[in-house]
Amino acid sequence: MNKILVIENSKIINNVVTKELRKSNLSVQQAFYFHEAQKILENELFELIILDLYLPDKEGSELIASIQSLTKTKLVVLSSLQDKQLRDELFQYGILDYIIKDKNLLYSLGEITKLIDNIILSETENILIVDDSKFICKQVQTVLEPRNYKVISCFDAKTALDMLQNYTFKIIILDMELPDMHGTKLLEFIRKDKNHLFVPVVVLSGTSTPETIRQVLKNGANDFLKKPFAFEEFILKVDLWIDYFKKQKELQEQKFKLKFVNDNLEKLVLEEIEKNRQKDKIMFAQSRQAQMGELLSMIAHQWKQPINAISMSADLIELKVSKNNLDVDETYKITSKVKKYLKHLLQTMEDFQTFFSPQKETRESDLKTIFLSAYTLVEDILKIKKIKLIQDIGEVERFYTYENEIVQVVLNLIKNAQDILEEKKIKDPYIKVTIANKLLSVEDNAGGIEKEILENIFKPYFSTKKESGGTGLGLYMSQIIIEEHCNGTLKAENTPEGAKFTITL
């Protein structure tokens, strides 16, 4: 945070200045007397001092002499005097601004805040001055370096051209009368270099005839100042042109970006589509892996009973053989049961193989057929969990679709309902499936979904089952399947009894 010291004996003005600066989150300290300020400055360093020139116990201007460098410690003067000579002397010394207290103080403070943003918070910027007078170069350096500018001085055109090859500049201050080349010729060289084509050039000249000014501006200069110049005017013009150059550069960059986007719009759109397609492929793969885990669990449930029965039949045959009392009729009876159990196992395997087989083309189906395909996979589990499945199936309409994909969605909705009923340990749990034409809904009596969750339920990786291994992809992928692949909608809502998911094709 930047530290600022306000030295002003008027409590009203001091408080107004301090309050305005603190609005910009700056660290501001106050002093009302010369000796008070002197003590503070002995112990602390400040990046900016706002100083009243006339304090009750001593002149504030004496503090300026004690500040070692106005490049490190910036200075703004407050005064009720409109002394032009004093103002110019202070600007030559390196102050940032001279504020008349009885004028529009709040506006001036707004300008100071801009100065702080541009000077204290910004990077150092290069300025080139080309003038054979070392005295003028030194003066320019004195007034500009406190404003966070790095001034590079050249005393002839050749050195200036070398500098222009090696550095970039925010503004060029150019004298017309150089020892090795006239300023207008140097200006031509500057404007021929594409790197310096739009860099502001302010010309300094002892001659200010209309013809001279016209020639200078026609050759590519942005502004003209007659020597000797008022330093405050010089500073204002430098700041103005640098600010203008920045804005022009930003505008050119925006135009370039806009042109690039316009020229490459089709390519960018295709790239974005491809990125989304790859992302969806990854999510589909993750979703499929999660589903495979659930389906393996379902297979295990469905195979458990017939495998146990086959094992018991084998044990019975073994026992009867060992006791030599296995007759033909009983053997046929036992093997008939084993075949029945094996048929159940094979049918289960076939059902799940159909579920996982990729479907590249649409086929004619209806929502009743789709539901029964899904129900076959979970029927035994629902019976084991003692969850009642209520079917309300009306007239159905045939249509062409990716049947297996919708089976996956219906299965996911039924499994979600089963999980929440188990989690909440609902008494007399049920799942109700309603089918009418191209509409299928899955409803439970688990009490519904909280509003915050309901708003996010279809977002990727949002899950209410993370502790039990939920991936947050089931409902997201289900919505993509229904809405993007099958040209339908999947919506969620609460009913008086619980949650209801509706597929409409």
Spatial CB neighbours of 497, under 8 Å, sequence gap ≥ 6? 443, 444, 445, 447, 448
Which pLDDT belongs to residue 440?
Answer: 96
Which pLDDT belongs to residue 97?
Answer: 83
Which pLDDT belongs to residue 453?
Answer: 84
* Token representation of residue 11: 């409590």
DSSP structural state of residue 401: E
Which pLDDT belongs to residue 301?
Answer: 53
Which pLDDT belongs to residue 466?
Answer: 45
Which pLDDT belongs to residue 497?
Answer: 93
* Token representation of residue 219: 């050759």
pTM of the predicted structure, to 2 decimals: 0.48
Taking the C-alpha atoms of residue 193 and residue 308, their distance in angstroms, rounded to an integer, is 90
Nearest to 356 by CA among 308, 307, 406, 292: 292
Per-residue pLDDT reduced to its tens digit, 396-445: 999 999 887 888 889 889 988 998 999 999 999 999 999 999 999 999 99
Listed as ranges, residues in the chain with pLDDT below 70 are: 1, 68-71, 102-103, 118-123, 280-306, 308-309, 341, 344-345, 347-360, 460-473
What is the spatial order of strands in the sheet that 430-437 belongs to?
388-396, 430-437, 439-444, 499-504, 489-494
Taking the C-alpha atoms of residue 231 and residue 235, their distance in angstroms, rounded to an integer, is 6
**454 in Cβ contact with 494 (< 8 Å):** yes
Which pLDDT belongs to residue 376?
Answer: 79
Cα-based angle 347, 350, 353 (whole degrees, multiple of 5): 155
Number of neighbours of residue 327 by Cβ within 10 angstroms: 9
Amino acid at site 138: K
Q: Where are the beta strands (DSSP E) in 80-198?
A: 97-100, 125-130, 149-154, 171-175
In the chain the domains, ranked by start, together with CATH numbers, are 1-122 (3.40.50.2300), 123-258 (3.40.50.2300), 273-504 (3.30.565.10)
**211 in Cβ contact with 183 (< 8 Å):** no
Sign of CA dihedral 455, 458, 460, 464: positive
Taking the C-alpha atoms of residue 53 and residue 87, their distance in angstroms, rounded to an integer, is 11
Taking the C-alpha atoms of residue 61 and residue 37, their distance in angstroms, rounded to an integer, is 12
**235 in Cβ contact with 91 (< 8 Å):** yes
Taking the C-alpha atoms of residue 239 and residue 244, their distance in angstroms, rounded to an integer, is 8
Nearest to 497 by CA among 442, 422, 436, 423: 442
* Token representation of residue 249: 């550069």
Cα-based angle 466, 468, 472 (whole degrees, multiple of 5): 35
The pair phi, psi for residue 6, each rounded to 5°, is: -105, 115
- Distances in Å between the Cα of 290 and the Cα atoms of 279, 417, 453, 471 are 17, 17, 21, 7
Which pLDDT belongs to residue 462?
Answer: 55
Which pLDDT belongs to residue 103?
Answer: 67
Q: Which residues pair with 175 in a beta bridge?
A: 204
Where is 72: in which H helix or E strand? none
Where is 226: in which H helix or E strand? strand 223-226
**431 in Cβ contact with 389 (< 8 Å):** yes
Spatial CB neighbours of 459, under 8 Å, sequence gap ≥ 6? 472, 476
